[in-house]
Amino acid sequence: MPYEIPAIVQDRVSPRAREYLKKIEHFVETECIPADEVYEAQVSKEPSLRWKSYPPIIDELKKKARAQGLWNLFLSKTHYSQGAGFTNLEYGLMAEILGRSHTGSEAMNCSAPDTGNMEVLAKYGNDAQKKQWLEPLLDGKIRSAFLMTERYAASSDAKNIDMKMRIEGDTIVLNGTKWWSSGACDPRCAVYITMTKTENNISTDAFKQQSVVIVPANTPGITVLRPLHVYGYDDAPHGHAEVRFVNVRIPKSNLVLGEGRGFEIIQGRLGPGRIHHCMRSIGAAERGLDYMIARVNDPSRRTFGKLISEHGTIRTWIAESRIQIDSCRLLVLNAADKIDRNDAKAALKEIAMAKIVVPRTVIDVLDKAIQAHGAGGICQDFPLARMWAGIRTLRIADGPDEVHLAQMGRNENKRAAEIVKRHEAQEKRREELFRLYKIEGRSQL
């Protein structure tokens, strides 16, 4: 569907962003979507090469996108002078379009986890760290992974992170096992942004015991044990790795910000990233709806004397999907706008709401699209099953729904005292009004 900026945010989108939105849409529709299947076909089927090569078409797309200025669109000028300078809301609109295609984000150097890692380095890295790692990432020369989750720790509570970090003079020694390290299987992945638990100077504050360190992927002692599968997809060449660290030694200068500052860093990393995931998911939902509408109007697939789209249930699915997509978009743009007007911390509630609602809703839209395709919908002939699998993981990745709901519920519940006070004041005034109008009893309503 040609891109339309929602009416409610029209005045928040600059002329420059509008121009980019048009260019991005054109590039995604004419270059990336057609390249998606080529990309899949070029992922090596040869087991010994599957994780040692990557599809050459992505380099061609990157070259073309960069030549058109469609590069690093996610990075704000606040933290890096070379940032594209779009607001979170503007980039959110762009991310939606990128989400229509499997290759769109990477083609424009806007894919996770690199975007979040680049933001960490831009925001918290020192000059030497930026030079060594941020610059090649911004240049699209290397890729990166974010290593927080651990196989042997319930990682939705980040206080459980247990990769041991010991400081010996000018050296940091790391031991532990990470898993679900997205991108760590990619042969271009050169650096891991890694959350660790400090063994020296342990603070009594549970939120000051973790540190973030930069680990070159080729450091001795690191073994990428295996790629984990997402509903059977290995997501090669990117992959989600289990990675073992045994006495991995890195310079102390690879510590980001300082010992015990890990929570601060991961909290700063996750806010805008969640908005990007949400908007890309909405792009996937739009694509799913497109597929559904195309399929149910295929004149060669009539049932019981009608086009499938002429059955009432199917029309309802189309309408429901449109409502679901448009309401999700407003929720995410509201969160993005709040980040722009304040910061990610001020928008925690809005970000959490979007993070919870969007994947659930998009899963439902994609599920309807799959159902409308019959058996075709769940096989490799359409991108729907793969999209569904990818979006389903978002209910777990970046923290499971339940944790966000628990936090939201706790904060919402803090209103109890204020609500009771307001109700008491209303009750007092009601009693006064009853006396004034000589009303007896309370059964008037």
Interstrand relation of 171-182 and 222-228 (parallel, antiparallel or unpaired): unpaired
Q: DSSP per residue over 109-137, as a string?
A: T--TTHHHHHHHHHHH--HHHIIIIIHHH
| Shortest Cβ 260–ligand FAD spacing (Å) | 19
| Shortest Cβ 156–ligand FAD spacing (Å) | 3
**Measuring CA to CA, how many Å separate 151 from each of 189, 198, 258, 398?**
21, 18, 25, 15
| Shortest Cβ 181–ligand FAD spacing (Å) | 5
Smaller CB distance to ligand FAD: residue 215 or 230?
Answer: 230
In 3D space, the residue among 62, 59, 91, 56 whose CA is nearest the CA of residue 75 turns out to be 91
| Shortest Cβ 245–ligand FAD spacing (Å) | 14
Smaller CB distance to ligand FAD: residue 129 or 182?
Answer: 182
Smaller CB distance to ligand FAD: residue 103 or 155?
Answer: 155
Residues whose CB falls within 8 Å of the CB of residue 263, separated by 6 or more in sequence, listed in order: 158, 207, 208, 210
Alpha carbons 347 and 368: distance in angstroms, whole number: 32
Alpha carbons 156 and 189: distance in angstroms, whole number: 25
Alpha carbons 38 and 196: distance in angstroms, whole number: 39
Smaller CB distance to ligand FAD: residue 185 or 397?
Answer: 397
| Shortest Cβ 430–ligand FAD spacing (Å) | 39
Residue tagged 């299947």 (tokens): 37
Smaller CB distance to ligand FAD: residue 219 or 393?
Answer: 393
| Shortest Cβ 403–ligand FAD spacing (Å) | 5
Smaller CB distance to ligand FAD: residue 125 or 359?
Answer: 359
Smaller CB distance to ligand FAD: residue 182 or 309?
Answer: 182
Q: Which three-class secondary structure state does DSSP give residue 87?
A: coil
Interstrand relation of 210-216 and 143-147 (parallel, antiparallel or unpaired): unpaired
Structure tokens at 445: 């309503």
Q: Which three-class secondary structure state does DSSP give residue 213?
A: strand
Alpha carbons 91 and 74: distance in angstroms, whole number: 6
Residues whose CB falls within 8 Å of the CB of residue 355, separated by 6 or more in sequence, listed in order: 274, 277, 278, 394, 398, 399, 401, 404
| Shortest Cβ 183–ligand FAD spacing (Å) | 7
Smaller CB distance to ligand FAD: residue 38 or 396?
Answer: 396
Can you give the binding site for ligand FAD, defined by CB under 6 A? 113, 146-149, 154-156, 180-182, 230, 240, 393, 396-400, 402-403, 406
Smaller CB distance to ligand FAD: residue 109 or 182?
Answer: 182
Phi, psi of 313 (to 5 degrees): -60, -40
| Shortest Cβ 399–ligand FAD spacing (Å) | 5
Return the bridge partners of 172, or none: 167, 250
| Shortest Cβ 23–ligand FAD spacing (Å) | 29
Return the bridge partners of 227, or none: 241
Q: Which amino acid is at 409?
A: G
Smaller CB distance to ligand FAD: residue 83 or 113?
Answer: 113
Q: Which long-range contacts (CB under 8 A, 24 or more apart) does 5-8 make?
A: 5/93, 6/326, 6/329, 6/330, 6/333, 8/330, 8/333
Smaller CB distance to ligand FAD: residue 113 or 283?
Answer: 113
**Measuring CA to CA, how many Å separate 14 from each of 86, 87, 142, 288, 437?**
9, 9, 31, 29, 57
| Shortest Cβ 127–ligand FAD spacing (Å) | 26
In 3D space, the residue among 108, 92, 84 whose CA is nearest the CA of residue 351 turns out to be 92
* Alpha-carbon radius of gyration of the chain: 25
| Shortest Cβ 160–ligand FAD spacing (Å) | 7
